[in-house]
């Protein structure tokens, strides 16, 4: 049973916090245009297959708890929560298909999809939902991640690191990867990214003086696609602010002014219709720092 609770200051709209605007839902016919619609992807089978640190499947309700107490800034904000999806019998592929089916219903009702994870195997599932709902639209993916996640599956099995390889087998990739680490990707993965046409901004390139160039790259990307899906692997961040992840990046980026300028700019685009956060691992978190950061990143979209 999902529970949304928080500090109660009053029933008047100006007092509201997120937990007061969430409705637990099960019927997709009740989704209204511009509703934020939440699914929990309580799955880390792909992380296990990718030899990462298991535990992300247990992050969904912890992220909810950290999200629930933020104040409602946008008076029109409403959210419907469809609960958690779990991986039965280690069948990741069936679980990815299930999420894709569910989210596609949301998108066809003009809702805004939010998925909290779970491992980054959510990428292929979430993208598949957009492709299913809008097969004729050019979908752009903006991936905040230290890794390309473009590994070829071993023995045909998808993992948390194969999402973009899987996408490339189905269609031409239109993706921009922000925060890529040179010490987290082999030369082969960089070559694969180039072969697939995956655009990227290295973590080392994110600094104040370079923001105009980054914004130009982002705007060029946004102009070239019809709809945008934003995915955040929490290991893109420095381990000091995001210790609880499946694969830590100790020299990752920070959620500083430069990052927030980039991130808010992307979310403010009317083309952005789907967002997820992945790889929060509560068993390695410290004082729920990673879960709190993940929740705050989701909340940024609610405030626009």
Binding-site entries for Mn(2+): 120, 145, 147, 149, 233, 235
**Radius of gyration in angstroms for the set of CA atoms belonging to the chain, rounded to a whole number:** 18
Annotated binding-site residue numbers: 120, 145, 147, 149, 233, 235
**Are 151 and 162 a contacting pair, CB within 8 Å?**
yes
CA distance 304 to 284: 31
**Are 167 and 124 a contacting pair, CB within 8 Å?**
yes
CA distance 255 to 263: 9
């Amino acid at each position: 049973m999902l529970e949304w609770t928080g500090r109660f200051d009053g029933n008047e709209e100006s007092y509201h916090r997120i937990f007061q605007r969430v409705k637990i839902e099960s019927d997709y016919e009740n989704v209204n245009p511009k509703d934020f619609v939440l699914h929990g992807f309580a799955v880390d089978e792909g992380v296990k297959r990718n030899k990462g640190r298991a535990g992300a499947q247990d992050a969904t309700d912890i992220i909810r708890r950290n999200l629930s107490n933020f104040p409602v800034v946008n008076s029109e904000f409403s959210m419907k929560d469809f609960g958690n999806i779990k991986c039965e019998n280690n069948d990741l592929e069936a679980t990815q298909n299930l999420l894709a089916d569910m989210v596609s219903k949301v998108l066809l009702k003009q809702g805004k999809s939010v998925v909290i994870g779970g491992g980054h195997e959510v990428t292929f599932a979430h993208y598949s939902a957009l492709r299913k709902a809008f097969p004729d639209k050019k979908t752009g993916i903006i991936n905040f991640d230290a890794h390309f996640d473009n590994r070829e599956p071993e023995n045909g099995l998808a993992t948390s690191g194969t999402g973009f390889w899987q996408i490339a087998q189905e269609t031409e990739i239109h993706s921009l990867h922000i925060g890529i680490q040179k010490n987290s990707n082999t030369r082969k993965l960089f070559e694969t990214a180039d072969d697939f046409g995956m655009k990227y901004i290295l973590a080392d390139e994110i600094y104040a003086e370079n923001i105009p160039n980054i914004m130009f790259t982002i705007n060029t990307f946004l102009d070239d696609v019809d709809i945008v899906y934003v995915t955040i692997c929490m290991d893109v961040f420095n381990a000091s602010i995001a210790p609880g992840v499946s694969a830590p990046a100790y020299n990752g980026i920070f959620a500083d002014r430069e990052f927030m300028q980039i991130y808010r700019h992307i979310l403010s685009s009317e083309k952005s219709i789907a967002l997820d956060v992945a790889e929060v691992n509560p068993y390695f978190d410290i004082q729920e720092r990673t879960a709190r950061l993940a929740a705050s990143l989701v909340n940024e979209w609610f405030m626009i």
